[in-house]
Amino acid sequence: MSKKTLIIGAGGVGNVVAFKCAMNSDTFGEITLASRTLSKCNAIAANVKTRTNVTLKTAQVDADLVPDLIELITTTGANIVINVALPYQDLTIMDACQHCEVDYLDTANYEHPDSAKFEYKEQWARDEEFRKTNIMGLLGSGFDPGVTNVFCAYAQKYYFDEIHTIDILDCNAGDHGYAFATNFNPEINLREVSAKGRYWENGQWIETEPMAIKQVWNYPEVGAKDSYLLYHEEMESLVKHIKGLNRIRFFMTFGESYLTHMKCLENVGMLGIKEVEHKGMKIVPMEFLATLLPDPASLGSRTKGLTNIGIFAKGIKDGKEKTVYIYQVTDHEKCFKEVMSQGVSYTTGVPAMIGAKLMLEGKWQGNGVFNMEEFDPDPFMEELNKQGLPWKVMELDADATRVIV
Ligand code: NDP
C-alpha cells in the first residue's frame, strides 16, 4: 500500500521538507502540505512542481485546534505527520496523531506561548499513550536538536567507551546583508537567545545570565568566531542517554551587529512575550517585532557563506583519552540553488525528511516517544551523506582544543 505524508507548516523549514520529500517521493508517496495560510502552501507546491515535477496536495489548517487536525489527518489518510509549524503546536499535533493512530515527528520541543521554557516534560509525558496506541513520536529531528544528537550517538558507538565532555557547536557564518534578521522564526529564535544560559556539569544544571560566557572557537572551513553559551534542548535528553557524561555545553556564534541590536531591543522591551496595552489594543511586543523583521524564508536569495555545526567530544577508548570533532558544513548559496532556501532552513528540513524516511521505511521503529540518540545512528548518518548534508570526523590528540581564548 502506498504511503501518505502530511507536512504541517509552510515556513522556511516547511519549504525544504516539502522539496526533499518530493525528491524522495518513492518513500513519501502522496504528500500534503498544510499550514495556517493556504497561499504559502500553494506557492511552495508550485515551486516543487516546477523543479521536481511532483504534485503536492495543499490544505489550510489551524494547528492549534485538535478537532481540525483530526479531520485533516483523517482526510489525507496520512501514515506520518511531519510537524514543522511552531513549537506552540507540538502538543495539539501529537494529540491529534494519537487520536488518529498516526506516527509523529517534529524539530523543536514544545513551548507555551506565554513562557519560554525549553523542556521535553510535556512531550515525554505522552510516551505511555503513544505506546498504548502503537505509534511512534520522534522528537527534535532537525539539526540541533537532531543531527547533533545523532552525532553524539555515533561518537558513542564508534569512538568512545565513555564520553566525558561534549560541546555542541553551532556556527552560522552566513551573511544576508541586513543589519538584523533571524535565520528561523524570529519569535522562537529571540526567545531562545535572550533566555538564561544553562549547562550541565557533574549531575547538575548550572545557570548563567544570557550570553554571559563567551569563547572563541576555531571552526574548520570557517575560522575563528565568537561563540556564546546558550541553553539548548538536546542537552536535556543527551544527559539521560550518553554514558559517563560529566559535562555538556552548547555554544552558538553571534556577530557584533546581531548582539547590539538584540541588547537594544531587549532594553526597550521589544523582546517581551506578555501582552501590553497600545492605543486601546493588546499587543505582544515580540510578536510585533517578528512582523517587522524580514521573513526568514525570504533570506534565501541574499544569504552567502557557510554554516558549521558539530560536536566536540572528549572521553576514553580502550583505556586511552581521546578527542573527536564531528561536524557538517553547509553552503547557503548551494541550498538556495537546490531548494530555494537558506542554509538554516535547509539544515533543519533535510534531517526532518530523513527522520520521517527512516520511520516510513521501518529502519527506525518503536512504540512511544523517542529522542534521536535512542536509535542506531548508522542509517541516519548514511542518509545525511546522500541527501545533501555530508559530514566529517576529525580525530584529535587527547588534549586538543579548538578554543582560541
Ligand atoms: P516559520 O515561521 O518560517 O514557519 C512556521 C510555519 O508554521 C508558518 O508557515 C506558519 O504559518 C505555520 N504556523 C504557525 N502557527 C500555525 C498554526 N496555528 N496552524 C498552522 N500553521 C501554523 O518557521 P521556520 O520554518 O523557521 O521553523 C519551523 C520550525 O522549525 C519551528 O518549530 C522552529 O523552532 C524549528 N527549527 C528547528 C531547528 C533545529 O535545528 N532543530 C532549527 C530551526 C528551526 P503562517 O505563515 O501562515 O503563519
Tens-place pLDDT, residues 46-65: 999 999 999 999 999 999 99
**What type of residue is 277?**
E
Please tell me the distance between residue 9's alpha carbon and the centre of ligand 1 in angstroms: 6
**Residues 282, 288, 291, CA angle at the centre, nearest 5°?**
140
The pLDDT assigned to 355 comes to 98
- What is d(CA 200, CA 132) in angstroms, rounded to the nearest whole number? 33
Atom of ligand 1 minimally distant from the CA of 144 = 40
Least confident of 76-90, 155-169, 365-379, 388-402: 388-402
The pLDDT assigned to 188 comes to 84
Give yes or no for residue 9 CB within 6 A of ligand 1. Answer: yes
Please tell me the distance between residue 88's alpha carbon and the centre of ligand 1 in angstroms: 9
Please tell me the distance between residue 405's alpha carbon and the centre of ligand 1 in angstroms: 36
Give the DSSP letter string of 337-383: HHHS--HHHHHHHHHHHHHHHHHHTTSS--SEEEEGGGS-HHHHHHH
Please tell me the distance between residue 185's alpha carbon and the centre of ligand 1 in angstroms: 6
Which helix (H) or strand (E) segment holds residue 147: the answer is helix 147-158
- What is d(CA 362, CA 340) in angstroms, rounded to the nearest whole number? 30
The pLDDT assigned to 405 comes to 61
Atom of ligand 1 minimally distant from the CA of 63 = 19
Looking at ligand 1, which residue's alpha carbon is closest to its atom 4? 11
Atom of ligand 1 minimally distant from the CA of 85 = 7
Q: Under 8 Å CB-to-CB from 389, ≥6 apart: which residues?
A: 147, 328, 330, 347, 350, 351
Q: What is the pLDDT of residues 115-167, one digit of tens each?
A: 777 899 999 999 999 999 999 999 999 999 999 999 999 999 999 999 999 99
Give the DSSP letter string of 44-104: HHHHHHHHH-PPPEEEE--TT-HHHHHHHHHHHT-SEEEE-S-GGGHHHHHHHHHHHT-EE
Query: Can you tell me which residue has the cell 521573513?
Result: 295
Query: Can you tell me which residue has the cell 548563567?
Result: 208
Please choose from 19, 40, 86 the residue to mutate so as to test ligand 1's pocket, defined by most ligand atoms within 8 A of CB: 86
The percentage of residues in the chain with a pLDDT greater than 90, rounded to a whole number, is 88
- What is d(CA 351, CA 359) in angstroms, rounded to the nearest whole number? 12
Burial class (CB in 10 A: 0-12, 13-18, 19+), 57: middle
**Confidence tier at 101 by pLDDT (50, 70, 90):** very high
Please choose from 61, 84, 183, 330 the residue to mutate so as to test ligand 1's pocket, defined by most ligand atoms within 8 A of CB: 84
Q: Under 8 Å CB-to-CB from 394, ≥6 apart: which residues?
A: 220, 324, 325, 326, 327
Query: Can you tell me which residue has the cell 538584540?
Result: 262
Which has the higher per-residue pLDDT, 183 or 76?
Answer: 76
Task: State yes or no: pLDDT of 1 exceeds 80.
Answer: no
C-alpha cell recorded at residue 203: 549531575
Check if the beta carbon of residue 245 is closer than 8 Å to that of residue 166.
yes
C-alpha cell recorded at residue 275: 501582552
Atom of ligand 1 minimally distant from the CA of 87 = 32
Give yes or no for residue 63 CB within 6 A of ligand 1. Answer: yes
Atom of ligand 1 minimally distant from the CA of 186 = 2
Nearest in space to 15 (alpha carbons), one of 88, 93, 82: 82
Please choose from 117, 183, 185, 389 the residue to mutate so as to test ligand 1's pocket, defined by most ligand atoms within 8 A of CB: 185
Q: What is the pLDDT of residues 192-244, one digit of tens each?
A: 888 899 999 999 999 999 999 999 999 999 999 999 999 999 999 999 999 89
Please choose from 151, 170, 348 the residue to mutate so as to test ligand 1's pocket, defined by most ligand atoms within 8 A of CB: 348
Please tell me the distance between residue 1's alpha carbon and the centre of ligand 1 in angstroms: 31
Q: What is the CA radius of gyration of the chain?
A: 20
Atom of ligand 1 minimally distant from the CA of 12 = 25
C-alpha cell recorded at residue 250: 552548547
Give the global pTM: 0.95
C-alpha cell recorded at residue 240: 539521560
- What is d(CA 121, CA 83) in angstroms, rounded to the nearest whole number? 18
Give yes or no for residue 296 CB within 6 A of ligand 1. Answer: yes
Mean pLDDT in residue range 309-321:
96
* Collapsed DSSP state (helix, strand, coil) of residue 174: coil
**Residues 32, 35, 38, CA angle at the centre, nearest 5°?**
90
Give yes or no for residue 18 CB within 6 A of ligand 1. Answer: no
